[in-house]
Amino acid sequence: MGPDEVVALTAVAGAALVQAAGTDAWAGMRTWASRWWGRLDEQRQRAELERLDAARTALSAADEPEAAHQAGYWSGRFEMLLELLPPEARAEAVAELRALVGQRPPAHGATIVNVSGDGPVSVQSGDHNHMVNHFGSGA
């Protein structure tokens, strides 16, 4: 998995975590994420649960810039752990992240497009797909 693919996958995972914070999906996401970062270490899992709870509290009153900041923060945490894992564990963690965000591994030669600006971030992965984004007040 190349660096661009890691960035795209972790960006989607970070956004998914932030989006789940205000929904009924949060309990499952919270448990899954604490286990993913904790990697079978119960003490670390408890620390992650506390961090996730603090994020949900912050997100409950967050505006768009704060939500974008949180998505970037969690994306970076996903990416950092992937970088620290040995290759075998990394492959398993990537598979778990892909399952979380509903992605299949990109086909050989797939392109990943990461479009960002001063506002929302859009990430697209795969071949032969189509995406149209409209950002701004006229969207």
Neighbours of 48 (CB within 10 A): 20
Q: With cut-offs at 50, 70 and 90, classify the pLDDT of residue 63.
A: confident
Domain annotation covers residue 135: no
Output the six-digit token pair for 79.
Answer: 């990416």
Mean pLDDT, range 51-65, rounded to an integer: 88
* Mean pLDDT of the 72-90 span: 94
Q: What is the pLDDT of residues 11-24, one digit of tens each?
A: 999 999 998 988 88
**Does any domain span residue 36?**
yes
Helices 42-60 and 3-20: crossing angle in degrees, nearest 10, is: 60
- pTM (2 d.p.): 0.70
Q: Which comes out higher in pLDDT, residue 119 or 54?
A: 54
Which domain range does residue 35 map to?
3-105
What's residue 119's pLDDT? 45
Q: Which position has the higher pLDDT, 87 or 138?
A: 87
Q: pLDDT at position 12, please?
A: 92
Residue 20 lies in a domain: yes
Confirm whether 112 is domain-assigned. Answer: no
Domain assignment of residue 125, yes or no: no
Average pLDDT for the chain: 79
Whether residue 101 lies inside any domain: the answer is yes
Q: What's the structural domain count of the chain?
A: 1
Q: Is residue 12 part of a domain?
A: yes
In a domain, 99, yes or no: yes
